[in-house]
Amino acid sequence: MSACKNQNLYEPKMAVMDDIREEIQDVKTFFWHFENPEDQKAFRTFMPGQFAQFNVLGAGEIAISLPPSPTEDKLFFTTRKVGSVTAAMHAMKPGDRFAVRGPYGNGFPMKDYFGRNLIIVAGGIGLIPLRSVIMYALQNRDKYQKIQVFYGSRTPKDLMYTQNLEAWQKDPGFECHLTVDRADEGWKGNVGVVGSLFKKPGVHMPVENTTVFICGPPVMFRFVLADLKGMGYDDGNMVSTLERYMKCGVGKCGHCCIGVAYVCTDGPVFTLEQIHKLGEVI
């Protein structure tokens, strides 16, 4: 679902920062609301996997994934400090005003997955865009079959959304498996790459009638993809998001064009089959 039909595609809406929470080093979650309740209501039609344009007044604008599910009450962004706009964003305080436009992109068609098994595989901050999938699926638990989450990070201190992870591990409605590359003294869980979780005793991953969501750093993605293909999963049932510089967000500027597709409008969600047809090497 793209931006509302009756609004200027480029028109941002004013918003206010409510709270800021540090996730891991250089990554923060920003809770916010629109000044106009009608803007808040209209924005909440977003789908898991969509993104919005976050405008730090005087610093610039950046495309950011939407980690909340539309079934949740609060709106928030999570982002790493990597450039001038995100640095300005990380310097913000509660009460500061900024602007948002969107939601944009195609998102994950969660209703198309009704009745299917869902496998979510994430590495590092790749959990940010997939968090919305997990929360949506849990809050519509009766619509899906088996749900499994496999998530890994470099160290325990690099695990994202720790409050969610603790709750997910205790939730009887699905499986949540965690791993780290390097353990510390307090870590009692699995040590190894994300793919090592697939081979744990007691883990059964259905291949038939299954959609797999994958997001993480390139090296993790390549190894996970090789593992999954070796297990029998096909490209048409594996989905991911592509990251490109999306300056306008509405298919006008051409910065995110890949072959015949615009990541901001045709994506950012693509099946692996679609990605290969675009000529992307993963």
In angstroms, the CA 13 to CA 22 distance is 25
C-alpha pair distances (Å), 11 with each of 99, 176, 185, 264: 9, 40, 50, 16
CATH of the domain spanning 13-104, picked from 1.25.40.10, 2.40.30.10, 3.40.718.10, 3.40.50.300:
2.40.30.10
Rg over alpha carbons for the chain, rounded to the nearest Å, is: 18
Contact 43, 34 (CB under 8 A): yes
Residue 280 has pLDDT above 80, yes or no: no
| pLDDT band at residue 276 under the 50/70/90 scheme | confident
Cα pseudo-dihedral 166, 168, 173, 176, rounded to 10: -110
User: Across residues 13-29, what is the average pLDDT?
Assistant: 96
Task: Give the model's pLDDT for residue 266.
Answer: 72
The percent of residues in the chain predicted with pLDDT above 70, rounded, is 94
With tokens 């790459």, the residue in question is: 193
Q: Percentage of residues in the chain with pLDDT exceeding 90?
A: 77
Mean pLDDT of 101-106: 92
Q: Read off the pLDDT band of 131 (50, 70, 90).
A: very high
The reported pLDDT for the residue numbered 158 is: 96
Chain mean position to CA 34: 21
Average pLDDT over residues 156-165: 96
Q: Are 161 and 133 in contact (CB under 8 A)?
A: no
CATH class of 110-241: alpha beta
Tens-place pLDDT, residues 33-84: 999 999 999 999 999 999 999 999 889 999 999 999 999 999 999 999 999 9
What is the pairing mode between strands 257-258 and 175-180? unpaired
Q: How confident is the model at residue 133 (pLDDT cuts 50, 70, 90)?
A: very high
Residue 4, pLDDT above cutoff 50:
no
Q: Any idea what the Cα angle at residue 173 is, between residues 168 and 177, rounded to 5°?
A: 45
Give the whole-angstrom CA distance, residue 280 versus residue 257: 12
Q: Which residue has the higher pLDDT, 146 or 3?
A: 146
- Mean pLDDT of the chain, nearest integer: 91
pLDDT score recorded for residue 229: 95
For residue 153, give the amino acid letter: S
Domain positions in the chain are 13-104, 110-241
